[in-house]
């Protein structure tokens, strides 16, 4: 099972060789993270050794992901040393995932953990730069980072040649709590009624007839509500069993004027589905609901043939996402 943790100075020293291997592997495969060829494992070890004082002083946080064997295979940093007028922000630095551990969701997990650490420290803005038009830029976009612009001829690529960097940022929403609740409670029913009214206004169909609370109460279902720090209900969502290895996403809703609610609910339900042993999440939305289509596409959902009662319905769009479960 993969885990995310923070390393202090002693932890960095204890994992120095594994961290050096991650950095060396990333640079060897073309990552533009401040280094050029030749770049040896000793060079990588030297970089991490020089970082120890910053970790120990609190100027920087170091987060790592461990694989099923407990070996560090990915890492990201939060740069916290800011001037007095900038102590509401932090820099995201050195997002590194070893090539053997890619396409497993680790970068997204590390970013989510970094964002939680930043919130806990009172940081409301994250800033980063990344090699323009790279897979990393696409990753950050999918995680909600916004484009500021590009700087041409910003840095040397590891193999040589100047390239542009893309500057990005993310405003962090206040901390949200997502938890399982009774879909028949007064607050849950109010959220579901609001969703039905919103969908009817967008698509002409409330979707209420396609949802049965009993479907999400069983062992294979979940209904969750997201709340803010004051306990106010801000949105909801659910999963229900659909077929072997597949759950269906239902009743996703975020109250108008909120931020980050839909992402929080979706991330929670994806993890819950994976923990329940589902291998994929499927959903249906409407072609006219462009906002929902964009939301799901930005989070890795792909269009699939319409399933079940949606087959043959040209107004319906079905999407799916493959889940990475615990190992």
Q: Residue 99 — pLDDT band, cuts 50, 70, 90?
A: very high
Q: Residue 175 — pLDDT band, cuts 50, 70, 90?
A: confident
Is domain 3-124 given the CATH code 3.40.630.30 in the classification? yes
Tell me the pLDDT tens digit for each residue of 115-168.
988 987 888 999 999 999 999 999 999 999 999 999 999 998 877 789 999 999
Cα torsion through 12, 13, 15, 16, rounded to 10: 100
Q: What is 177-322's CATH number?
A: 3.40.630.30
Q: Residue 326 — pLDDT band, cuts 50, 70, 90?
A: very low
Q: Are 64 and 7 in contact (CB under 8 A)?
A: yes
pLDDT for 28: 94
> What does the alpha-carbon distance between residue 20 and residue 170 come to, in Å, rounded to a whole number?
29
Tell me the pLDDT tens digit for each residue of 54-67.
999 999 999 999 99
Span between the terminal Cα atoms of the chain, in Å:
5
Query: Which carries the bigger pLDDT value, residue 174 or residue 245?
Result: 245
Query: Which residue spans within the chain are E strands per DSSP?
Result: 3-7, 60-66, 72-79, 89-97, 125-131, 146-156, 162-171, 177-180, 222-227, 233-243, 246-254, 280-286, 302-304, 316-322
Instruction: Say which range, 34-43, 45-54, 139-148, 317-326, has the weakest mean pLDDT.
Output: 317-326
- Do 177-322 and 3-124 have the same topology in CATH? yes
Residue 309 has pLDDT above 80, yes or no: yes
Q: What percent of the chain has pLDDT over 90?
A: 80
pLDDT for 72: 97
Domain range list for the chain:
3-124, 177-322
Report the number of secondary-structure helices (H) and strands (E) in the chain.
8, 14
Beta bridge partners of 129: 167
> What does the alpha-carbon distance between residue 186 and residue 153 come to, in Å, rounded to a whole number?
57
pTM of the predicted model as reported, rounded to 2 decimal places: 0.60
């Amino acid at each position: 099972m993969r885990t995310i943790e923070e390393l202090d100075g002693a932890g960095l020293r204890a994992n120095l060789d594994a961290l050096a291997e991650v950095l060396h592997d990333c640079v060897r495969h073309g990552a533009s993270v401040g280094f050029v060829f030749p770049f040896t494992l000793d060079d990588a070890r030297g970089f991490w050794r020089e970082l120890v004082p910053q970790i120990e002083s609190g100027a920087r946080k170091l987060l790592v992901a461990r694989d099923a064997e407990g070996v560090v295979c990915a890492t990201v940093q939060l740069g916290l040393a800011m001037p007095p007028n900038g102590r509401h922000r932090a820099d995201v630095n050195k997002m590194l995932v070893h090539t053997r551990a890619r396409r497993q969701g680790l970068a997204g997990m590390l970013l989510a953990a970094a964002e939680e650490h930043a919130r806990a420290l009172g940081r409301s803005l994250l800033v980063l730069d990344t090699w323009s038009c790279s897979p990393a830029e696409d990753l950050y976009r999918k995680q909600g980072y916004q484009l500021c612009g590009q700087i041409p001829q910003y840095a040397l690529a590891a193999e040589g040649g100047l390239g542009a960097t893309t500057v990005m940022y993310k405003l962090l929403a206040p901390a949200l709590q997502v938890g399982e609740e009774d879909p028949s409670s007064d607050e849950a029913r109010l959220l579901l009624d609001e969703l039905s009214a919103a969908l009817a206004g967008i698509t002409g169909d409330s979707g209420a007839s396609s949802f049965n609370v009993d479907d999400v109460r069983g062992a294979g279902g979940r209904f969750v509500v997201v709340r803010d720090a004051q306990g106010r209900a801000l949105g909801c969502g659910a999963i229900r069993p659909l077929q072997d290895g597949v759950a269906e996403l239902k009743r996703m809703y975020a109250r108008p004027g909120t931020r980050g609610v839909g992402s929080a609910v979706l991330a929670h339900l994806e993890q819950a589905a994976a923990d329940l042993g589902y291998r994929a999440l499927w959903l249906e939305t409407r072609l006219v609901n462009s906002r929902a289509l964009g939301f799901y596409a930005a989070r890795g959902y792909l269009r699939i043939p319409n399933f079940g009662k949606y087959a043959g319905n040209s107004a319906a769009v079905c999407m799916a996402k493959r889940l990475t479960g615990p190992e």
